[in-house]
Amino acid sequence: MSVATQDTAIRTGRVTRTFIYVFLLVFALFYLLPFLVMVLNSLKPLEEITSGNMIALPQDWTIAPWLSAWSTAQIGVEPTGLRPYFWNSIKMVVPAVAISTVLGALNGYVLTKWRFRFDTILFGLMLFACFIPFQIVLIPMARILGELGIAGTTTGLILVHVVYGLGFSTLYFRNYYAAFPTELVRAAQIDGAGFFQIFWRILLPSSGPIIVVCVIWQFTNIWNDFLFGASFASGGAAPMTVALNNLVNSSTGVAEYNVHFAGAIMAAGPTLLVYIVAGRYFVRGLMAGSVKG
């Protein structure tokens, strides 16, 4: 991590420094441009867009597209707006992230501090979960969800995401805990702490950075997932991503681009928020993991 006032051996002149900042600023603006277009168009009436002023500032500022996208727009056959689906996504993503993170942490704890025969092989097998393409598991997963009687429900979707997320969350925590001093665990053992107590009172309080990494990763993946959502929870239980697709595809007559833009920003909002709030720790956590192995 760089510190603004870092005194490096290489002295950079004022000109060079200015050039670097201008360069960075230009690129930042360049990357922000699409988002700016989305925001601007979500705040103007449809006529302004269809008359060809995509890039211009709204002449007539309005939040009507947002209200429409949120509560009245046509999603499939129902004029419900994105609201119920937004809550579907929240109801899916919160438990799925929490469960996969906690289980990943437990796995990492056991794999590093309670070593057993073939533990590395088991870990290797778990890593495969990170590399299995989604499409391969669709049919077996559908069967399993059917057998369990949770096909087409948010619960089913949570299960799918937990199973799929475990590979990554285990990887994160195992590598993080591998660098965690085992003597602390031994000391706690002698101090009379049990299996879960050591986990809860010794390891977890020191796991901040890696928890943030894991939560951001899982949150982004699960929130943005479309394939599982479309396959296993269509209809009333569909998540935000699927609903957004339906919003865009089910316009009657004119395509309400301003409403679509508003809906897209809503769908992207939570991941954006998570990054802004916890992004610092994300980088820090990744560094900790990579440096310490």
Partner 1 sequence: MAKLDLRGVRKSYGSVEVIKGIDLTVDHGEFCVFVGPSGCGKSTLLRMIAGLESITAGEVAIGEEVVNAIPAADRGLAMVFQSYALYPHMTVRQNLSFGLENIQTPKPQIREKVEAVAKMLQIDMLLDRRPKDLSGGQRQRVAIGRAVVREPNIFLFDEPLSNLDAELRVDMRGEIAALHKRLGNTMVYVTHDQVEAMTMADKIAVLRLGELEQFGRPLDLFNTPANLFVAGFIGSPKMNFLQGRTDADNRSRLILDTGDTIDLPEGRFTQAPGQAVTLGLRPTELQPDPDGALHAHVGAVEQLGSESYLYGTFQNGTPVTVHNPGQTTIRPGDKVTLTAKSTAMHLFDTETGLTLRA
Q: Which of residues 171-230 bind partner 1 (CB under 8 A)?
A: 181, 183-184, 186-193, 197, 201-202, 205-206
Of 167, 174, 206, 180, which is closest to residue 106 (Cα–Cα)?
174
CB of 209 to partner 1, least distance (A): 13
Please identify, using beta-carbon distances, which residue of 143 and 186 lies nearer to partner 1: 186
3-state secondary structure of 287: helix
Please identify, using beta-carbon distances, which residue of 72 and 189 lies nearer to partner 1: 189
Distance of alpha carbon 13 from alpha carbon 67, whole angstroms: 51
The tokens describing 140, both together, are 């077996």
Distance of alpha carbon 26 from alpha carbon 28, whole angstroms: 5
The tokens describing 148, both together, are 């369990």
CB of 36 to partner 1, least distance (A): 43
User: DSSP letter string over 84-143?
Assistant: HHHHHHHHHHHHHHHHHHHHHHHHHHHHHHS--TTHHHHHHHHHHTTTS-HHHHHHHHHH
The tokens describing 47, both together, are 């006529």
CB of 106 to partner 1, least distance (A): 19
The answer to whether residue 284 forms part of the interface with partner 1 (CB under 8 A) is no
Total number of residues binding partner 1 (CB under 8 A)?
Answer: 16
Please identify, using beta-carbon distances, which residue of 190 and 276 lies nearer to partner 1: 190
CB of 189 to partner 1, least distance (A): 5
Q: What is the SS3 string spanning 195-212? A: HHHHHHHHHHHHCHHHHH
Please identify, using beta-carbon distances, which residue of 98 and 193 lies nearer to partner 1: 193
> 185 and 269 in contact (C-beta within 8 Å)?
no
Please identify, using beta-carbon distances, which residue of 173 and 180 lies nearer to partner 1: 180
Cα 29 to Cα 23, 25, 129, 195, distances in angstroms: 10, 6, 37, 51
CB of 271 to partner 1, least distance (A): 30
CB of 192 to partner 1, least distance (A): 4
Please identify, using beta-carbon distances, which residue of 42 and 207 lies nearer to partner 1: 207
Which chain residues interact with partner 1 by CB under 8 A?
A: 181, 183-184, 186-193, 197, 201-202, 205-206
